[in-house]
Amino acid sequence: MANVGFDKILKTIFLLLVAIFAILYAITPKSRIPERYRKTEEQAVKRPEKQTEVATKKEPTAKVAKQEPRRDAAIQRTAQTTLTLEEIKVCRGIIGKQPMGTASVFPDTIGRIFCYTVVSGADGPGKIAHVWFHGNDKLAEVSLDIQTGNWRTWSSKRIIPQWTGHWRVEVLDESGLLVGKKAFEVKAGK
């Protein structure tokens, strides 16, 4: 009999705590909530299939990158970003901070694919994002830290056998501007 009363007390305390947290959340100014926990209108309407860490967005800088001839046909830059994509490779893995098994076509049994990038032109510590697309569907956005000078970084995406077809990884700066992209394909039975 005593346990029944104790259970009711615990349930009441739990419900009170839930109500308190709901009230605190409702009265907390949105500016105090970290951006990664805020929902945008797009997220509220359509939930992405899989999303890892989301890059933070900042106001675009007024600097303009120098126009240089492209080193790789797959690398495309916009004139508004201060970053330069020196290298981008899609590969089977990273060993010793270097891409291994680079290719443009992968088998559907690969399991995981890596995108390796080298960027330059950062004014200081910042972030870039690797946005993974299967066809026109955005499947993941990974926020990556960068520093000054040439900075190498990478992300990876789990690939299931049903996701055959055309893929691309877009590299975005902190303000969401396209720095470059790389296309690749996942084929069945390769």
Residue 171 included in any domain? yes
pLDDT band at residue 101 under the 50/70/90 scheme: very high
Provide the domain count of the chain: 2
Q: What mean pLDDT is predicted for residues 63-80?
A: 44
- Do 129 and 177 fall within a single domain? yes
Strands (DSSP E) contained in the chain are 84-91, 93-95, 98-100, 105-107, 112-120, 126-134, 137-146, 151-158, 165-172, 178-187
CATH of the domain at 114: 2.60.40.1930
Hey, what amino acid is at 5?
G
Residue 40 included in any domain? no
Q: Percent of the chain having pLDDT more than 70?
A: 68
- The domain of 142 spans 46-187
Residue 160 included in any domain? yes
Residue 173 included in any domain? yes
pTM of model > 0.95: no
Q: What mean pLDDT is predicted for residues 116-125?
A: 91
- Do 9 and 69 fall within a single domain? no
| Interstrand relation of 105-107 and 178-187 (parallel, antiparallel or unpaired) | parallel
pLDDT band at residue 18 under the 50/70/90 scheme: confident
pLDDT band at residue 41 under the 50/70/90 scheme: very low
